[in-house]
């Protein structure tokens, strides 16, 4: 399982027995893509599971090939001497089910039809993603996790690890997370969905892979991306600058912030599947840690391990008060919990843009855990 941090390989495992989902449907066979970094110790006690956000993947660190333009999405956090130190810890990151980045999702072949699932793929929930991850760590014969850490949708997964498998993680570290998706976030995802549904190329999910609904997906991504930012971060990055390519009195001229969203959307559609985007958005909207429980308190009562929560002052997608609500409930239940509000101007994306602001707290927490 040892992997050099500078050049990584995505691995795959398929579970023929599949997985029963919260919807009641079976997903079988089930493939999970994952990457690992560092060394698993003799006691198999030093694993940190990294859980990714909405459109992330298993490639969290290092380089897949010498031709890559950039490393994995959390490369500044994972590696020798970095906060998730591969000299000490065995880092594992898997792609969630429902994605298009190697794990079973809408683009996978439905064994009953020998065609892509498309919209016949079952609705998955964050809880289902975590159950699939449990299959993976059981396959790797890892009995416990030193920590589960992730931001945004990754924070939801970290929390669910504490609820669904209270005896497995020795800590959870949710970053920019919430106990349930708020209506504002659902509303924005609803707009993103309509952008895709209104693209004539979507064809109710049966679009041709070589002719996807790129305009609808690009607009949907732009809606989502706005929610990751903040007014302050937009002011810092763009202000009211008008595009140098356009005349101010050109009716179709654009501000720099508009061109940025256009560029971000046009880049995104080249590497992400539209139906997968929709399924993961649905999983986000459905997330409620109280699912299958009578209350959030009842769900959180199952958490046994210490938890470390980070929220960001300018995050309006999952505002700090929502993170604090969960931390307060855990504290009231007598659970070991830390909550830290990080001052940042970069909105929901702060955990990716300014990790240096919470890294010292994270290092201390991991040092205490590892002994």
Beta-strand (E) ranges in 7-63?
A: 11-15, 19-20, 26-27, 30-37, 47-51
H-helix or E-strand spanning residue 337: strand 337-342
DSSP code of residue 181? -
Active site residue 315: yes
For residue 30 the two structure tokens come to 């089930």
Neighbours of 354 (CB within 10 A): 16
Could you tell me which residues are beta bridge partners of residue 311?
341
Catalytic residue among 59, 348, 349, 350: 348
Note whether 153 and 53 are within 8 A (CB).
Answer: yes
Catalytic residue among 315, 344, 349, 350: 315
Catalytic residue among 152, 276, 344, 350: 152
Q: What is the largest CA-CA distance in the chain?
A: 68
Active site residue 68: no
Note whether 198 and 331 are within 8 A (CB).
Answer: no
DSSP code of residue 86? T
| Phi/psi at 127 (5° precision) | -60, -35
30-37/11-15 β-pairing:
antiparallel
For residue 285 the two structure tokens come to 């909207």
Annotated catalytic sites, by residue? 152, 315, 348
């Amino acid at each position: 399982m040892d992997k050099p941090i500078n050049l990584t390989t995505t691995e795959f495992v398929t579970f023929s027995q599949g997985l029963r989902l919260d919807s009641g449907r079976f997903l079988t066979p089930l493939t999970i893509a994952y990457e690992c970094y560092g060394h698993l110790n003799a006691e198999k006690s030093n694993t940190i599971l990294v859980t990714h956000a909405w459109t992330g993947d298993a490639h969290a660190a290092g380089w897949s090939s010498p031709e890559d333009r950039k490393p994995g999405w959390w490369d500044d956090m994972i590696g020798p001497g970095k906060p998730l130190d591969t000299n000490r810890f065995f880092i594992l990151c898997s792609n969630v089910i429902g994605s298009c980045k190697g794990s079973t999702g809408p683009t996978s072949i439905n064994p009953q039809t020998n065609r892509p699932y498309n919209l016949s793929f079952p609705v998955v929930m964050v809880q289902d993603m975590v159950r699939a991850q449990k299959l993976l760590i059981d396959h790797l014969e890892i009995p416990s996790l030193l920590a589960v850490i992730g931001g945004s949708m990754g924070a939801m997964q970290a929390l669910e690890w504490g609820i669904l498998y209270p005896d497995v993680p020795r800590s959870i570290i949710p970053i920019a997370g919430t106990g349930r998706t708020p209506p504002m976030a659902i509303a924005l995802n609803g707009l993103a969905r309509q952008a895709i549904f209104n693209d004539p190329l979507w064809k109710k999910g049966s679009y041709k892979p070589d002719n996807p609904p790129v305009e609808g997906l690009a607009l949907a991504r732009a809606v989502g991306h706005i929610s990751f930012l903040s007014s302050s971060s937009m002011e810092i990055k763009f202000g009211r600058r008008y595009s140098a390519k356009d005349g101010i009195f050109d009716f179709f001229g654009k501000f720099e912030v508009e061109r940025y969203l256009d560029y971000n959307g046009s880049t995104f559609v080249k590497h992400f599947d539209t139906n997968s985007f929709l399924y993961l958005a649905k999983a986000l909207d459905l997330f409620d840690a109280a699912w299958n429980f009578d209350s959030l308190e009842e769900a959180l009562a199952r958490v046994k391990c210490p938890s470390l929560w980070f929220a960001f002052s300018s995050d309006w997608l999952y505002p700090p008060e929502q993170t604090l609500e969960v931390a307060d409930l855990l504290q009231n239940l007598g659970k070991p919990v830390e909550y830290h509000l990080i001052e940042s101007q970069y909105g929901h994306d702060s955990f990716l843009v300014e990790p240096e602001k919470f890294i010292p707290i994270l290092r201390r927490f991991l040092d205490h855990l590892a002994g």
